[in-house]
Amino acid sequence: MAGVSVRSLFSLTGIDKSDVRVLLGYALGKTHAQLVADAEYCLSESEAERISNYLIRRTHGEPVSYVTGRRDFYSLTFRVTPSVLIPRPETELLVELALEYLSDHAQLLDMGTGSGVIAICVAHAKEDVAVTATDISPEALRVARKNAMYHQVANRIVFRSGEWFSALAKGIRYDMIVSNPPYIASDDPHLQQGDLRFEPACALTDKKDGLSAFCALVDGAPACLKEGGWLLMEHGYDQADFVCARLRARGFVSVRNWRDLAGIPRVSGGRWGNEDLCCFAGSTIGK
């Protein structure tokens, strides 16, 4: 492949051109604009070897984000490894809602933080918010801590290891709990397709019907929320009714769901406390 031009690589079959662009840019340290401007640039031997390795890995199905070790999310760049879920654009809705509903000097709890994208994006945007982030995976927490240090918010995020509410210190109550829990059913065929084959199973599925994490979050949240505090959860396209019903049954008020950019119900949530004390301010997000 040495001596091959940048332009010729975009004619390769079997690999999406957008993937080739990302991998080329990563291998050569060039932006998309630079690749276009230098389309006739010919690869050196070392560059050819590097890009060849990347393209082979992608041909075998490995996600681009694992090949490059990074992923852009909410205008920030994050380190990702096979120990964490690859951040998806639809999860940005959860960040937007958190930023809209969090008051000044609030305390936020991000459960199942993975690479830390939600916790870090909120801490990065709202410097007065104190954030706690939990995960059952020590490897995921290591990635999240590195991302927090990279974005210079590590001093405002407390990371805790453990399963759901068992990871928390006693007696602390939060203004908001957010979570993107594992919500894919164990028998869902998508788990054996595409990028999902390479991602950590514990971040994708509860190894049951895909609903048990929501039950744990809804049932455990009241003991950790302040009066009027929000619980917001990302879920699958067909799970909004279940999540909202569970919230209402547990006593949450102002229960509703929000749609992502594709028009799919993506986040559901509610507030803990008396309806009269939780004057609902309707969000314009997802309408």
Three-state secondary structure call for residue 221: helix
User: Which pLDDT value is given to residue 2?
Assistant: 59
User: Which pLDDT value is given to residue 40?
Assistant: 85
User: Which pLDDT value is given to residue 10?
Assistant: 78
Tokens, residue 88:
């998806």
Measured CA to CA, the distance from residue 174 to residue 109 in angstroms comes to 7
User: Which pLDDT value is given to residue 152?
Assistant: 97
- Burial of residue 234, with CB atoms counted within 10 A of its CB: 0-12 exposed, 13-18 middle, 19 or more buried: buried
Measured CA to CA, the distance from residue 212 to residue 183 in angstroms comes to 8
DSSP states along 226-250: EEEEEEEEE--TT-HHHHHHHHHHH
User: Which pLDDT value is given to residue 174?
Assistant: 97
Question: What is the mean pLDDT for each group of 10 consecutive residues in the chain (287 residues)?
Answer: 74 80 90 86 87 91 95 96 96 97 96 98 96 97 98 97 92 96 95 93 94 97 96 97 98 96 96 70 59
Dihedrals phi, psi of 58, to nearest 5 degrees: -70, -40
User: Which pLDDT value is given to residue 7?
Assistant: 80
User: Which pLDDT value is given to residue 75?
Assistant: 93
User: Which pLDDT value is given to residue 186?
Assistant: 94
